[in-house]
Structure 1
Amino acid sequence: MLDDRVSNEVYIDKILELTNYQLKLGWPDDYKRHLIETLWPSLFRTSNLSMTDRHSLWSLVNQDEYLTFKVMGSCGHFYAVEYLVPFRMKSYYTNLKAKILVHLMGTLKLFYEFLNEPLHWCDVKFDNFGLSAEYPKRFLIMDGDMVFTESRMRHFLQSTKCTRDTDCHFFDCEAKCDYATNHCTDRVNDNIDVFCKKLVTQLFGNFWTKSNRYLAACHDESMNATERLADLRLVWSWSLSDV
């Protein structure tokens, strides 16, 4: 906890510093006013932070999910997120697999559109999805403990010591061991790989056609990872622009 005697300006500087440490986004000083007003909307009304506000906000910013989820309100170090209906994959849902595929792609799209860098999700499974009437073309993540900014993912992996590749497998996020440094490399698979392997294949098996660009992204080996993402971005731009 910060010294209670520091000025509001110093406190806000420290909030920016802590947020950058948590997310590894490197936001500049001129972003701090926008950041603090986003994290603590009541500042619009009061233009100042009480000591209670300071203690509460400091506790909240130390919780990763508070920074990455849509927060509806808070009280002390507790916070509430929007209400979601848990999604539980059932065998008979395969009759709705085309609609589920759209939801998956709407969700995947947003991982590549988070602020100024992508997000990485390392615990991909249907049980971690929720549904909201407010978002008819995508799922929402129920548990964000395994969601990381790209900078934070890179920092975590490159700080991890290893003697073999499996030491660099962090749930669904995989890297390789650099034997010259005995530290992990950057991630070698991506969100698309994992969505395809763990979710799309569960619905469609190995069936795919080039006319369905979503399924082709999982199976068309003529494209490398960069081309695949570029192709998906193009499809997203006209089919899921309102996600």
Structure 2
Amino acid sequence: MARAAGARGCGRRWRCGRGVLVACAAWTAGWVLAAALLLRAHPGALSERCTDEKSRRILAALCRDYRGGALAGDLCEDLCVAGKLLYRRCLHYDRGKKVLQADWRGRPVILKSKEEAFSSFRPPGPLGAPAEDGGPAWPEAELLLLVAGEVRSALGLEPSASGLGPLWPGRRGPRRRGQLASLWSLVQQEEFVLLSVLRGLSPHALPVLGSCGHFYAVEYLAAGSARHRALFPLDGAPRGPARARAVGDMALSFLDLVRQFDHGFSHRLHLCDVKPENFAIRRDLTVVAIDVDMAFFEPKMREILEQNCTADEDCSFFDCFSRCDLRAHRCGAQRANSNLQVVCDKIFRHWFSSTLGGSAVSLRLQRQLREAVQECADPRGPQAAAPAMFWKLRRLLQAALRELREAEK
């Protein structure tokens, strides 16, 4: 009897202990989920504080590595010796990523790196081996294969020999080992690889101007912000019909960007993080994607989306999503929404939810434009209807611009 009672007591204690463990596990999972949702909604929540003091220390360490021969680049001499590339201010730190503003020979530029220190990038086996006569200890043909593998991993594409041309350092010299080590740090940064591949192919992508070690430079353009009434700074543009015309021109440029990213390259380029802060406007009102960390060519997009799932909600990757096949419990590899839908939702809806330029545009045309934007922004809309919606929006915007120009005469 005593043994039986003891066994029953032990069983109750085990059930109690198991209940506590389950409750603890549920509590922990809840906090992990809450933290993940917080970081998704506010990705800067755990960002470092952006300071001039730390930024100057980062660049000073970069120059020490340059003088020691560990790294190289076509901007290093101007940054570290000639004083022609001058640090101005810190713009952004985010989970390792550093974004700094500088002046290069009187021109404002942005210096970017995915990591703070050159040593943070994993070295390839060849560059970790002892050097002979100051040069690489590994055949460059084999290193080229490693670089091609990194590019393939970053883009999901098989790089061509000509496509690697802009990435490969030019002439040989005493700093060859540093050049190859710097190249290796750069090809581990997806945005650098993407911008290098897009170089000269689109006015809507930033050209890479040069690099030093793991930092690369791009054109400085003032980013958009939800705080701006027109989302983007329009310095010198008067209010009224002229400002409305500028918004119309920017909207047409966004449509041109969408069309080129959908059809202008060997594979569609998907934008998975569409917000004003990731775009800027040139003086001629051309829209430029200034942050493409979350832009992926079609093969990489399919790889990202095709995951296990139990519901459609499991198949979302920021602004890109597919549908869950409930029989296979697998997300579809085909994106269900489009670049155009997200631009309509995140950009056009802000511009065209109210009147456009007062009475300068007819009320009928304003209503048609608002209704078209609402229809375009609906994520339930079929992808097959996107081309027709694109041309409808373009026609309405052009008609609105004609009315605005007539009003200015």
Report the TM-score, using the length of structure 2 for normalisation. Answer: 0.48
Q: Distance in 2 between matches of 1:163 and 1:86?
A: 38
**Unmatched runs of 5 consecutive residues or more in structure 2:** 1-122, 127-136, 196-206, 232-242, 355-365, 399-409
In structure 2, what is the equivalent of residue 75 of structure 1? 212
| Partner-residue secondary structure (3-state), 1:187 | coil
Q: For the structure 1 residues 179 and 55, does the alpha-carbon distance in structure 2 shift closer, same or farther, using more than 3 Å as the test? A: same
- Cα offset, 1:52, TM superposition: 1.3
Partner of 1:150: 298
DSSP 3-state at the match of 2:154? helix
User: For the residues of structure 2 that align with 1:163 and 1:153, how far apart are their CA atoms?
Assistant: 20
Match of 2:352 in 1: 204
Following TM superposition, by how much is the alpha carbon of 1:97 offset from its aligned partner in structure 2, in angstroms? 2.6
Aligned to 1:88: 225
Amino acid corresponding to residue 52 of structure 1 in structure 2: G
Residue 20 of structure 1, CA deviation = 1.1
Counterpart of 1:38, as a letter, is P
- CA shift at 1:54, angstroms? 1.4
Q: Spell out the pairing of 1:121-132 with structure 2 (5 A cutoff).
A: 121-132=271-282
2:247 aligns with 97
Q: Is the 8 A contact 1:16 1:35 kept in 2?
A: no
Letter in 1 for 2:250: I
After TM superposition, the structure 1 stretch with the greater mean CA deviation from structure 2, 61-70 or 226-235, is: 226-235
- The 5 A counterparts of 1:156-175 are 156-158=304-306, 160-175=307-322
Q: Structure 1 pair 183/49, CA: closer, same or farther in 2 (3 Å)?
A: farther
Match of 2:146 among 14, 17, 25: 14
- 2:286 pairs, out of 138, 141, 159, with 138
CA distance in 1, matches of 2:221, 2:302: 30
Share of identical aligned residues, percent?
Answer: 29
Q: Secondary structure at the match of 2:331?
A: strand
Matched AA of 1:71: V
Q: 1:71 to 1:191 in 2, by over 3 A?
A: same
DSSP-derived class of the 1:86 partner: coil
Q: Is 1:37–2:165 an aligned residue pair?
A: yes
Match of 2:386 among 206, 225, 228: 228
Match of 2:179 in 1: 53
Q: What's the CA shift string for 1:147-183, capped at 9, x where partnerless?
A: 111111100111x221111111111111111223322
**1:230: how far off?**
6.7
CA distance in 2, matches of 1:194, 1:175: 14
Are the aligned partners of 1:66 and 1:79 in contact in 2 as well (CA < 8 Å)? yes
* Matches of 1:122 and 1:82, distance apart in 2: 22
Letter matched to residue 12 of structure 1: L
Over aligned residues, Cα RMSD in angstroms?
A: 3.3
Structure 1 position 75, deviation (Å): 0.7
Q: Distance in 1 between matches of 2:256 and 2:384?
A: 19
User: Could you say which structure has the larger radius of gyration?
Assistant: 2
**Aligned residue identity for 2:254:** L
Q: Counterpart in 1 of 2:359?
A: none
Distance in 2, Cα, partners of 1:193 & 1:121: 11
Provide the residue aligned with 2:239 in structure 1: none
Asked if the contact 2:268–2:298 (Cα under 8 Å) also holds between the matched residues in 1, the reply is: yes
Query: Displacement of 1:219 after TM fit?
Result: 7.9
Which amino acid counterpart does residue 53 of structure 1 have in structure 2? Q
Contact 1:83-1:132 within 8 A present in 2 as well: no
The structure-2 alpha-carbon separation of the partners of 1:47 and 1:98, relative to structure 1 and needing over 3 Å to count, comes to same
Q: Taking structure 1 as the reference length, what is the TM-score of the superposition?
A: 0.78
1:193 to 341, 364, 367: 341
Structure 2 CA distance for partners of 1:100 and 1:126, relative to 1, 3 Å:
same
What letter matches 1:2 in structure 2?
Answer: P
CA displacement, residues 15-49 of structure 1 (integer Å, 9 cap, x when unaligned): 1122111101123xxx22x2332113x41x44999
> CA 1:162–1:141 in structure 2 vs 1: closer, same or farther (change >3 Å)?
same
Q: Higher relative contact order by CA 8 Å / sep ≥ 6: 1 or 2? A: 1
Q: Is the 8 A contact 1:122 1:170 kept in 2?
A: yes
Partner of 2:260: 110
